[in-house]
Every structure is written in C-alpha cells, then in structure tokens.
C-alpha cells in the first residue's frame, strides 16, 4: 500500500506534521517551535493562534517537501491539539485577542443567578465554575467578552484554517462545558451555558471522534501543499491521542498510559461512562468513539523541570542536572517536592512546596526531589484512578518529553513498583492521530487492529527491588504525610 496519512499535532511548545504508512512508520516529518507564551504575574498566560497556525502550516509544508513525489499519497489528515486553550472570535472566526491558554490560572467572578451563587458556595464547585473560560473572559476582558460571537478551542480554530469552518469533537472539551458528556452533544437547554457564561451560539458543531471534520479547503491546499478535498479527521485532545498511540483501546482494560509532558497525567480507557464529582479524576471523550478517558492530571508536570532550570539553576544544562541528581541517594536525603505549582481543581488551596532542606542538600538533590515528586504524585494518581475505574491497571506505558530520559523512566518504575514500557516512538500523540485517520479511511476495521499494526513498544524498565522498597517508605512516610500536612496548613 502506497497510501499515507498525515498526523497534525499542535502542542504547547511546538507543532508537528508527520506522515505515516500502514505499518506505523514515519515517512516524513516537519516541525516548528511556537514563539514563547505571553505570561504575566497575575496568572495570565496567552498565545497567539496565528503563531500556532504559522508553525503548523510551516510544519505541513516542510513535511510535504520531504515527501516529494509522494504528496498525493496522503489520503487523510488526523488533527490533535493542546486542550482548553480558547480563542475569542468574531462571527467570521477572526480572533479578537490572543487565546487564553490552558496554563492560564486566572479565575472569573461568579455573580448573577441564585443557582450560580448557591453552586459557588460549595468550595470545590465554586472553583470549577470560576475557572470556566466564559467567566474568566467576562471578568478579565469584559470588552472582549462583549464583542465575542464565537468562542473556539484552538482545535476548532485550526479546523477553520484547514477546512474553512469551525467544527470539533467532544474530546476537545475537558472540564465543565454545556455538553452532555454521555451523548457527546451540546445540551438542548441553556441552563448550563448560562451558569458557565458561554452562550451556546459561541460554540462549534460537534462530530464523533473518528469522523471527518470536513475536507481540506482549496486555500489551505494552496498554502500548505496538501491535496484539496481529503478528509480532516476528528481526534480530540493530545492526551486522548497519546492514549491511543500508546495502544490503550477499547477492551484493553488493564493498561494505563502515563504522560510526562508539560502537564503530567495517568489515564485509562473505559467503555462505561462514569464521573468523579470530586474532580480528582476527569472524564473526557476519547479518540475512539463510544469510550471515555479517565484522567488524573498533574497540571505542572515536566514543566517543573524547565521552571527549575530557568529560575533556580540558570546556566545549567538538563544533562548536568540529571547527572548530579543520579549520584544523590534515593529520596534526596529527606528533601521532598510536592509539585502543586498549579493546584488541582479538587484541592484549590494546595501550593507547591520543597520541604526538608538541610545544609547537605545540593542542586542535584533538588533536581532529584522534583523528579521524584512528579513520579510520586503520579503514583498517587494511579491509585485514585484504579479506585475510580474499579480495576487494577498493572500495565503501564509512558510517553511525553520526559520519557526520553532513561533515568526519569527508571525512577518512575522504581516509584510505581511496576514495569513501565516506553512507546516505540516519542510521538505518541501524532501516532494516535494517524491511527484515527487510518481507521477513518478504512485501512483497519477497528482501533484495536490499528494499534496492533501501527503501534510498537520500546524498552521496558523493571523496578529495582532495593529502590522500590526505599520509595515505598518515602511515599508513605514523607510524600503522603507532607502533602496532607501542607494541605491542612493552607486550607
């Protein structure tokens, strides 16, 4: 088979376009970095959608150039993007301001109806509603809110550039939206939309995952080199695509996928809808129809590593820091990182902490403590996920930028006390998007068949028995105790 599918993966820091064949081999790749996010001290984080499209279209052109005479072999495009990054637009999809990024921590002021005031009286519910992108926009940019006629996730805005209209899929909407999460449709009433300050007319039409958002437009074809008229397939968010790329499909109910990305997460798939009202676990429509992802999210995952290097260890390379961390003892001699630089919705009072310093600690200890803290938080998340899913998840697969480090993945295996397998590619999100496109065009009759044929497993890391025992003690005696204690102190 000479046909190819093209995966478009637009993340936080860069965009990629990767052509795959039916065996899951990368035939050509183009990538481009995004300009730095705009950040200020009030928790505001924004990103120009034009910058993202510029990077993505450049990536497509680069990939097409590398394909050369095979550009016409591309028969479908799978689109996956970062989630919860919202673009306020005019009726014709022109951005009124830069997108409110998913890293943005600003909250909206809740006012209005008696029902909304009653809901906001419950701390965890009040937190959830105050973080609604409608309330945030209305509070921090009231003039923009008044002008807004379309409020699009980045995925839908990029769909406009690709197919000429805003269309999306339920998997692009994690968190609280005026959507029926079971049916994957917008509510037929306005009550939830009003509570969230997001009029339904602002939101795009939805199609099921695996369906076509539309066809590549003539203008997009001219700009990128894609063939006009080929389908752009709905995949959903990058975490769902990563789960599919890791081979977690319907029926594989013993697998969890760990993402060591900017945000870290541990996720599994369920074919039975369930929801955690305490918001420790998010339920999001998956990249596979009629299934849902159960996610435990650490809002600041490997972002912590970049933050530490920028703010604490200026001038040090990642390689230097990792080398220094490796020669420090397991448990960083009592130094514990509680990675709550971005507090979870379920515990909005929590804050990030490095606790247990002595004069013996070095930057190697700090770096180790940060990596161990991320891994231990994910261990906690796995336990929460297993309880919510009501089943054991003994098979762990890992992806994301942090998984490129053997030492980090070995530390994860030691902390988890379980084998951890790295994907056969670093581009699990893109591979998942390619699998969705491949099923759409009929290469495979199921997502399981696509995962079996196109996916692969790389190195498996076994936990070191001595380190495992030490980490069991560190997790119980230090991490869990300190997380609970700091939480009570700040409550």
- 435 or 338: whose pLDDT is higher? 435
Q: What are phi and psi of 489, to 5 degrees?
A: -65, -35
pLDDT tens digits along 278-292: 778 889 999 999 999
Among residues 276, 242, 236, 258, the alpha carbon closest in space to that of 384 is found at 276
Task: Annotate 189-218 with DSSP letters as a single string.
Answer: SSHHHHHHT--GGGSPPB--TTSEEEE--H
CATH 1.10.390.10 assigned to domain 4-237? The reply is: no
Judging by DSSP bridges, how do beta strands 26-33 and 14-20 pair with one another? antiparallel
Count CA atoms closer than 13 A to 242's CA, side-chain side.
30
Length of the chain: 491
Give the mean pLDDT of the chain.
92
What is the distance between the alpha carbons of residues 365 and 423, in angstroms, rounded to a whole number? 29
pLDDT tens digits along 159-200: 999 999 999 999 999 888 999 988 999 998 888 898 899 999
Among residues 199, 179, 194, 198, the alpha carbon closest in space to that of 112 is found at 194
Task: Annotate 384-450 with DSSP letters as a single string.
Answer: HHHHHHTS---EEEEESGGGG-HHHHHHHHHHHTS-EEEESSS-HHHHHHHHHHHHHTTS-SSHHHH
Reported pTM: 0.92
Residue 211's DSSP bridge partners are none
pLDDT tens digits along 304-325: 999 999 999 988 999 999 999 9
User: Tokens 């009231």 sit at which residue?
Assistant: 142
**229 contacts 246 by C-beta, under 8 angstroms:** no
pLDDT tens digits along 291-301: 999 999 998 89
pLDDT tens digits along 344-386: 766 676 788 899 999 999 999 999 999 999 999 999 999 999 9
């Amino acid at each position: 088979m000479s046909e190819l599918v093209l995966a478009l993966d637009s993340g936080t820091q860069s965009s990629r376009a990767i052509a795959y064949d039916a065996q899951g081999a990368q035939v050509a790749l183009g990538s481009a970095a995004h300009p730095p996010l705009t950040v200020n001290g009030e928790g505001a984080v924004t990103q120009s959608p034009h910058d993202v499209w510029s990077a993505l279209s450049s990536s497509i052109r680069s990939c097409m150039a590398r394909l050369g005479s095979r550009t016409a072999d591309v028969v479908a495009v799978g689109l996956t993007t970062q989630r919860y990054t919202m673009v306020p637009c005019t009726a014709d999809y022109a951005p009124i301001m830069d997108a409110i990024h998913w890293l943005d921590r600003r909250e909206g002021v809740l006012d209005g109806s008696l029902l909304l005031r009653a809901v906001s009286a419950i701390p965890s519910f009040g937190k959830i509603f105050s973080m609604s992108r409608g309330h945030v926009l209305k509070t921090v940019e009231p003039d923009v809110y008044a002008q807004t006629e379309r409020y699009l996730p980045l995925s839908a805005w990029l769909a406009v550039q690709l197919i000429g209209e805003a269309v999306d899929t339920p998997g692009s909407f994690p968190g609280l939206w005026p959507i029926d999460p079971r049916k994957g449709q917008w509510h037929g009433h306005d009550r939830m939309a009003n509570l969230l300050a997001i009029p339904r007319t602002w939101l795009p039409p939805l199609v099921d995952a695996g369906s076509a958002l539309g066809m590549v437009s003539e203008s997009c074809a001219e700009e990128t080199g894609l063939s006009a008229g080929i389908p752009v397939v709905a995949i959903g968010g990058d975490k769902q695509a990563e789960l599919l790329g890791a081979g977690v499909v319907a029926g594989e109910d013993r697998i969890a996928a760990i993402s060591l990305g900017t945000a870290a997460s541990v996720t599994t798939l369920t074919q039975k809808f369930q929801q955690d009202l305490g918001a420790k676990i998010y339920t999001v429509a998956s990249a596979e129809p009629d299934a849902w992802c159960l996610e435990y999210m650490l809002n600041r995952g490997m972002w912590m590593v970049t933050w530490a290097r920028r703010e604490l260890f200026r001038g040090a390379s990642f390689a230097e820091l990792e080398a220094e961390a490796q020669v420090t003892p397991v448990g960083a001699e009592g130094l514990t990182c509680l990675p709550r630089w971005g507090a979870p919705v379920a515990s909005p009072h929590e804050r990030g902490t490095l606790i247990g310093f002595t004069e013996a600690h070095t930057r190697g200890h700090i770096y180790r403590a940060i990596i161990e803290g991320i891994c231990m938080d994910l261990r906690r998340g796995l336990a929460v996920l297993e309880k919510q899913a009501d089943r054991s998840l003994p098979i762990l697969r890992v992806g994301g930028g942090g998984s490129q480090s053997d030492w980090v993945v070995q530390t994860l295996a030691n902390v988890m006390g379980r084998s951890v397998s790295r994907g056969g590619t670093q581009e699990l999100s893109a591979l998942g998007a390619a699998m969705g496109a491949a099923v759409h065009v009929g290469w495979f009759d199921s997502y399981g068949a696509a995962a079996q044929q196109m996916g692969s497993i790389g190195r498996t890391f076994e936990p070191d028995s001595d380190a495992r025992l030490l980490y069991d003690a560190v997790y119980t005696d230090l991490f869990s105790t300190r997380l609970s204690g700091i939480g009570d102190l700040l409550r």
